[in-house]
Structure 1
Amino acid sequence: MKKLFVFIGIVFCLNVQAQDYLTRNGSVNFYSHTAIEDIKASNNEVVSLLNSTTGAMDFKIAIKSFHFPKQSMEDHFNNENYMSSDKYPRASFSGKITNLSDVNFAKDGTYNVTVEGNLTIKDITKPVKAKGTITVSNGKVTAQSTFNVKRLDYNIVGESFVQKKLADEIQITVNCQYDKR
């Protein structure tokens, strides 16, 4: 019986030390640059969970929550030639901070991190590795990163007459301010 209480105490202590951070209004933007046209979109409804003990990071993104400067761009983006958002309503990322020991979530500062994981778009999952920062300020945690993905890796083709308007690599920028969960 004594061993059971010790075990329960250890499990309780581990759970108290584990700190999850959550956002429901994270930001993901993308940018495509070609000589013909720049395309930008933003999504401020990103849900993300960050575990400061394990370094696990998870993101869920509703495709229809991306907004463009022009309604016609948004309509094209969501149709079957691009994102097929009715068929594939979400994108996601699941990964880990690989250098978690470099981050002190209890101390204000900006920490350089590398995150590795799997990005899923249109039910196609590919490994992604990105550099970014974790900033701790007055108990708030912010994660930022900018990286590129190849659109054809995720079967984002578009209509043939606009191929020259779309960059082969799309720049993704993530900015999430987390609250303790």
Structure 2
Amino acid sequence: MLCISVKAQSYLSSNVKTSFFSSTPIEDIKAASNKTTAVLIAKTGEFAFLVSMKSFEFEKKLMQEHFNENYIESDKYPTASFKGNIQPNIDWSKDGEYNVVAKGILSVHGVSKPRTIATKISLKNGIATIASAFDVACVDHDIKIPTLVFTKIAKVISVKVNGTLTQKP
């Protein structure tokens, strides 16, 4: 559940894109979801996102099935989330591009870990565009890769979060 009070000036979106990529010599695996919910509170720099694991779409239906049933266990762990703060907080009244870090807790597969994620924020006419890329080690979130397929799935997954958040009064 995404819990941040949005009484202050905030930026919201329910269609941020989250994608991931796993590359091995045997096989590349990629998936994306355009259904990530994100909220950012301008005054405090609080930031959070939430994505349903079942919303990720794969090139091959079988990959999607294995992802949800065998690795992520989406029925048991239905979402991934991040909750933290943008540092340093920026002047939300000025258009421009800002390189910041999102410092907080990343929760995947029922395991929460502190993370500091480089993020680019572009502000223009009350719209905030966010872009970040970071790696997630499967072992850090207790995602088990069976030995039969360990050559097909990378131990570290590349993740990207990109989207446009609109200003709400």
TM-score between the two structures when normalised by the length of structure 2? 0.92
| Alignment partner of 1:166 out of 149, 153, 161 | 153
Partner-residue secondary structure (3-state), 2:43: coil
| Alignment partner of 2:65 out of 75, 84, 95 | 75
Once the two structures are superposed, residues 139-172 of structure 1 have per-residue CA deviations (whole angstroms, 9 ceiling, x without a partner) of: 1111110011111111111332111111111111
Q: Which residue of 1 aligns with 2:3?
A: none
RMSD: 1.4
Q: Read off the aligned partner of 1:142 and give its amino acid letter.
A: T
Between the aligned partners of 1:32 and 1:116, the Cα distance in structure 2 is 24
1:63 lines up with 2:53 in the alignment = yes
Between the aligned partners of 1:165 and 1:52, the Cα distance in structure 2 is 42
| Alignment partner of 2:115 out of 114, 128, 132 | 128
Q: Once the two structures are aligned, what percentage of the paired residues are identical?
A: 40
TM-score between the two structures when normalised by the length of structure 1? 0.86
Q: Say how many residue pairs are matched.
A: 163
- Is the strand fraction higher in 1 or 2? 2
Between the aligned partners of 2:141 and 2:17, the Cα distance in structure 1 is 21
Once the two structures are superposed, residues 49-90 of structure 1 have per-residue CA deviations (whole angstroms, 9 ceiling, x without a partner) of: 1011111101111000001011011000001x2000011111
Extract unaligned runs of 5+ from structure 2: 1-5
**Segments of 4+ moved more than 6 angstroms:** none
| Alignment partner of 1:50 out of 16, 40, 45 | 40
- Is the helix fraction higher in 1 or 2? 1
